[in-house]
Structure formats: structure tokens, C-alpha cells
């Protein structure tokens, strides 16, 4: 069987009795286990859960019942998102033995829609990283070149889709963790508007930035998955209910903004050429291209890493050797218990960010760092608001460079943080953004970054689908 299937292909195949959900699930599981010996996209395969879900789909088909939007579709889930009965490590040794006692809201929704969860995917520990090299369980390799990184923090979810180990994936994006690996692996990835999707049952990194989103091979599949998971959830007070505008965009009417700040020093010339060519395609098809300014972009990375580390230091305080995860009881005092569990269970990057965040929130420094970063965040948001008065969509590169070799940047944290330079402004402003494959340099994919106003995901999907046809 061909594993290069879309959600629609699977729906047609099931209804047309070309295959059963169980046959399809077994096919994908077998292929994923074989391929993953080289790629390491998955941390755990949830075979029992998957086959049980597949049997339910086949029963529904036999009884002539209506099928959900994701019926029979093999799906991967990032290992920061809880799936009942499956391990959930967030890529950390401190949660190595933790088994989720309930489903995250997004998991509950995809199960109700008929998706088949085949496994939990690898990630940088607690989402801290841009290459999946910070995973306590080893890096995920790029399916296009096994010597290179898959991106991060959700490199496992995007690599699993790119390698056809599954059809769709659930990722989570705090500063680029869906879009960056989607660009590196040559798949489609959406970071939704903050509040568009419930975060209940998702292991938190930075609560004001985290957002769950879809990974897929096509924009249409990403759209279908997003429409399943979006919406208000009583268990997440930050989630919002809103109407999707059923708008069909004509490319001739589309006003596309190109920020001059995104094409400055540091952008790889090969990446720039692919992005410029993509913009030219849009222009030749009739879109109106205009240069815009986002003047506070240069402060985004610094502000992001203060807010990210501050919120992470607060969120990770719960992993103390008593309430969650690894517990080492050999110490003579309560402090020893804390220090032993965190010292052994947490990786170097996690410790670095906890220290930075605790410092930024400490007495005497809160105003100088955290408070100032929040003011910069407001200025960034205003930059985007002004830009969207003139344009419909903002377009640029996802990453300033191509997927780098494993080990190339891991020893230099500042070099690693630069990976996020184009993606973090979107999280700080709470906007939706899409990474769409734009082309390749050799065999290495390059993603085109599309940004829209808040709750205008439909505008991104329409633009993305138009671009795929060019």
C-alpha cells in the first residue's frame, strides 16, 4: 500500500472498502517501526491504543454509522501532550516513568474525530531547543539527510509526517516549535492564534506563549486537523470560541507584506533565494507585494528569552522529586531530595533556563528584565497591528539557515537561540503563522513563513493552498 495518503484519500479508501482501518493502522505501524530505527522520530509506539481505535472505526463502517473528520487517519502526538495510558516524558528523564492518567483536550477531540494515535514523538526537553538535540533520549534525524537535525522543539512530530510514518501530527509551538521543524523537514505546520486551541493536558513550558497546532503534508490536511482541535474549552480559561470566516481569497486581491527586517544580515543567501523565488511566484500570480517595516523585531529574541525562561522557571518548579516524576529518596533533608531529583532528572539547557528565569523574576531585577520584556512584547504587537492595516498576509523565511548537522551548534546556546529569530515575534504577539514548503537547496527543504492577524487562520489556509498550486 502507498503510505503517501491524505485525509481525503483515507476517507475514500475506507468508504470504498479498499482497506480497513485496522489494515491501514498495521501498515503504518510496521513502516514506522522500520523507518524509525534510523530517524528516531518516536519515543513510544502506542500500538494497543491505535489498534483499539482502528477496530472501533471498522465497527462503525460495518454498522453504516457516520465517520468523523479524521476517521482511520494515523496520527503522531508530541510527547508534551497527554494521551491516557501512554508515557508522557516531554523529552526529559525526570518524567521517564510518567504515564498520562487522562487525555489532553486536543487528544480527546482527535479521538472523537476517529484519528488513530500510533505513537508519541521526540522533542527537545520540555520544548527547550531548536533541533531536538536537547532530548534526554537522543536527537531525531532529518528524513532528507540523516546527518542533519530535524529542527525543534517538535522535530519528532514533523519528521514522522515527512518520513510517511504517519499522515498527520499534533505539535506544540512556544517560539517556533512547529514551524521551524516543519521548514527543516519539508512539511506544513501551523502555529494557531493564542487561545484558538485548548492547552489543557499539555505540559507547560511558557504559559503565555504555548499553543498546540497541526503538522501535515498538505495545507488542506492541516486545515482539517485544526478545525477538529480548535475552540473553547471549559478546562482552559485562555481558550476562545470564534467563528471561522468562510472566505475564498483570490490571489489577485491579496496584499502581501515583506518585512525588510526579515531580509537583513545573517540570512543564508541560498535560503533567501528560495524565499525570493516563492514571493515572485505569488507576485506573478497576481498578488500585490509591498515592503513593510516591523521596527521592534530586533528586540524580539531578547524579550522572548526573558519571558520564556521566566515562565519556564515557574512552571518547572513542580518537578521537585515529590509531586511529579523522578524521586530520589536517599538525601538526608527535603532540600537534598529536591536537588538530587532535579540535578539528575533535568538536562543542561533546562537548568540554564530555570536559572536565567529565576534571576529575571528575582527581587530587584523583575522591573529591569521581565517587566521590560513585556513592554517590548506590546510594541511588537503594535508593529503587527499597523502592518495589517496595509497588508493581508506577511511573508518571509521561517529559519535564517538550512538544517544544520547534528552537533554543529549544540555547544553554543546563543547560536541555537538565533534559529528562532523569525518565529518568536509571532508567539509574543499571539498571532497565527503557517510554514509551507517553498523549495529546496540541494535535498534540504526551505519553508515559507506566512503570518496573519489573530484568529485569521482561514486566511493562511487559503493563501497556503493558492501557493501550493503555483
Burial (CB count <10 Å: 0-12, 13-18, 19+), residue 163 = buried
Looking at 92, 160, 177, 399, which residue is catalytic? Answer: 177
Widest distance between CA atoms in the chain: 71
Q: Which residues contact 344 (CB under 8 A, 6 or more apart)?
A: 93, 326, 328
Q: Which residues contact 417 (CB under 8 A, 6 or more apart)?
A: 130, 301, 305
Asked if residue 381 lies in contact with residue 303, where contact means CB atoms within 8 angstroms, the answer is no
Looking at 22, 78, 111, 217, which residue is catalytic? Answer: 78
Return the beta strands (E) in 17-123 as ranges: 42-45, 74-78, 116-121
Report the alpha-carbon distance of residue 140 to residue 467 in Å, rounded. Answer: 29
SS3 of 5, please? coil
Grid cell in block for residue 131: 533541533
344: number of Cβ within 10 Å = 12
Looking at 131, 150, 153, 160, which residue is catalytic? Answer: 153
Q: Is 239 a catalytic residue?
A: no
SS3 of 288, please? strand
Q: Is 177 a catalytic residue?
A: yes
48: number of Cβ within 10 Å = 10
Residue 179 has, within 13 A of its CA and on its CB side, a CA count of 33
Grid cell in block for residue 92: 526529559
Q: Is 78 a catalytic residue?
A: yes
Asked if residue 213 lies in contact with residue 178, where contact means CB atoms within 8 angstroms, the answer is yes
DSSP at 345? H
120: number of Cβ within 10 Å = 27
469: number of Cβ within 10 Å = 7
Report the catalytic residues: 78, 153, 177
Amino acid at each position: 500500500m502507498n503510505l503517501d495518503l491524505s485525509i481525503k484519500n483515507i476517507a475514500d479508501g475506507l468508504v470504498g472498502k479498499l482497506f480497513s482501518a485496522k489494515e491501514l493502522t498495521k501498515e503504518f505501524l510496521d513502516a514506522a517501526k522500520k523507518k524509525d530505527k534510523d530517524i528516531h522520530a518516536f519515543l513510544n509506539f502506542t500500538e494497543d491504543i491505535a489498534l483499539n481505535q482502528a477496530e472501533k472505526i471498522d465497527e462503525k463502517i460495518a454498522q453504516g454509522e457516520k465517520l468523523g473528520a479524521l476517521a482511520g487517519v494515523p496520527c503522531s502526538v508530541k510527547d508534551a501532550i497527554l494521551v491516557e495510558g501512554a508515557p508522557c516524558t516531554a523529552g526529559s528523564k525526570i518524567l521517564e516513568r510518567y504515564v498520562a492518567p487522562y487525555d489532553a483536550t486536543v487528544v480527546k477531540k482527535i479521538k472523537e474525530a476517529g484519528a488513530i494515535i500510533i505513537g508519541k514523538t521526540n522533542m527537545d526537553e520540555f520544548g527547550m531547543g531548536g533541533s531536538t538535540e536537547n532530548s534526554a533520549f537522543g536527537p531525531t534525524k532529518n528524513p532528507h539527510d540523516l546527518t542533519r537535525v530535524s529542527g525543534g522543539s517538535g522535530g519528532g512530530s514533523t519528521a514522522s509526517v515527512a518520513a510517511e510514518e504517519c499522515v498527520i501530527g499534533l505539535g506544540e509551538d512556544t517560539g517556533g516549535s512547529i514551524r521551524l521543524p516543519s521548514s527543516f523537514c519539508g512539511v506544513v505546520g501551523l502555529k494557531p492564534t493564542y487561545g484558538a486551541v485548548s492547552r489543557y493536558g499539555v505540559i507547560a513550558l511558557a504559559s503565555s506563549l504555548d499553543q498546540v497546532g497541526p503538522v501535515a503534508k498538505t495545507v488542506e490536511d492541516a486545515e482539517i486537523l485544526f478545525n477538529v482541535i480548535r475552540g473553547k474549552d471549559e478546562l482552559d480559561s485562555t481558550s476562545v470560541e470564534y467563528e471561522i470566516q468562510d472566505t475564498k481569497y483570490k490571489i489577485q486581491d491579496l496584499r502581501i507584506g515583506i518585512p525588510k527586517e526579515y531580509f537583513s544580515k545573517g540570512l543564508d543567501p541560498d535560503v533567501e533565494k528560495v524565499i525570493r523565488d516563492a514571493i515572485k511566484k505569488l507576485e506573478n500570480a497576481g498578488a500585490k507585494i509591498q515592503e513593510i517595516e516591523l521596527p521592534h523585531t530586533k528586540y524580539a529574541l531578547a524579550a522572548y528569552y526573558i519571558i520564556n525562561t521566566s515562565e519556564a522557571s515557574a512552571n518547572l518548579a513542580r518537578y521537585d522529586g515529590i509531586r511529579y516524576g523522578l524521586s530520589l529518596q536517599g538525601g538526608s533533608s527535603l532540600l537534598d531530595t529536591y536537588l538530587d531529583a532535579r540535578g539528575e532528572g533535568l538536562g543542561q539547557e533546562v537548568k540554564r533556563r530555570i536559572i536565567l528565569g529565576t534571576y529575571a523574576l528575582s527581587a530587584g531585577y523583575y522591573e529591569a528584565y521581565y517587566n521590560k520584556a513585556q513592554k517590548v512584547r506590546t510594541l511588537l504587537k503594535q508593529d503587527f497591528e499597523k502592518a495589517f492595516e496595509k497588508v493581508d498576509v506577511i511573508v518571509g523565511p521561517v529559519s535564517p539557515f538550512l538544517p544544520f548537522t547534528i552537533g554543529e551548534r549544540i555547544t553554543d546556546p546563543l547560536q541555537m537561540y538565533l534559529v528562532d529569530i523569525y518565529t518568536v515575534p509571532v508567539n509574543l504577539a499571539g498571532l497565527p503563522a503557517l510554514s509551507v514548503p517553498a523549495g529546496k537547496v540541494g535535498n534540504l527543504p526551505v519553508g515559507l513563513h506566512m503570518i496573519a492577524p489573530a484568529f485569521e487562520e482561514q486566511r493562511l489556509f487559503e493563501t497556503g493552498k493558492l501557493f501550493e498550486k503555483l
